[in-house]
Amino acid sequence: MTETYLIVGLGNPGREYRENRHNIGFMLIDSLAFRLGAKMSRMQSKALVASARHGDAKIILAKPQTFMNLSGQAIQALVRFYKTPLENILVAHDDLDLPFETIRLRPGGGAGGQKGIKSTIQHLSTNDFPRLRLGIGRPPGRMDPAAYVLQDFPKEDQQFLVETLERAVDAALDFVDEGLDVAMNKFNGTA
């Protein structure tokens, strides 16, 4: 039987946010779509979505088109529509508390100040869903974190960003193929 997985990347819609640190979740979904040969062209439940096959699994890729702090609306609607069990959901998001180039899979937990995760926890009425945390590092000096996450990745970080996204794509597909525990063991120690 085909299992359905929902992989959601968090970000803000609109061209002006496209290269922002806050949109690394969207960047991951674009990288996954490219790897799987899927086109992100369909609007559904306030999200841009695509579906792809991977082995025996059907993967729904989604980029909520609400702003970050309302991401849970789209995620809740997609979970209901596809009847996706919580353990088959993976929400990818930027994380200030992880150094840039670091990825971490987690089975659940709090929002840690990430407003898209906070919204998702509220709309799903649980914090028990897998996440893929994508490290963007802390802002320099006394810079406001809200301003930092809305800055584009600097040009000198582009190559590292591409490599990090490739590793994150591998981690997301391992999550589908092998399950969360195996993927965590494989990817949570590597930079």
Is residue 135 classed as helix, strand or coil in its secondary structure? Answer: strand
Amino acid, single-letter form, for residue 15: R
Q: How many Å apart are CA 82 and CA 4, to the nearest integer?
A: 8
Q: CB within 8 A of 109, min separation 6: which ones?
A: 127, 131
Residue in 22, 54, 93, 123 annotated catalytic: 22
Rounded CA-CA distance 182/8 in Å is 20
Cα–Cα distance measured from residue 135 to residue 118, given in angstroms and rounded to the nearest whole number: 18
CB 108 within 8 A of CB 129: yes
Q: Are 90 and 103 spatial neighbours (Cβ–Cβ below 8 Å)?
A: no
Active site residue 123: no
User: Chain centroid to CA 53: how far?
Assistant: 18
Catalytic residue numbers?
22
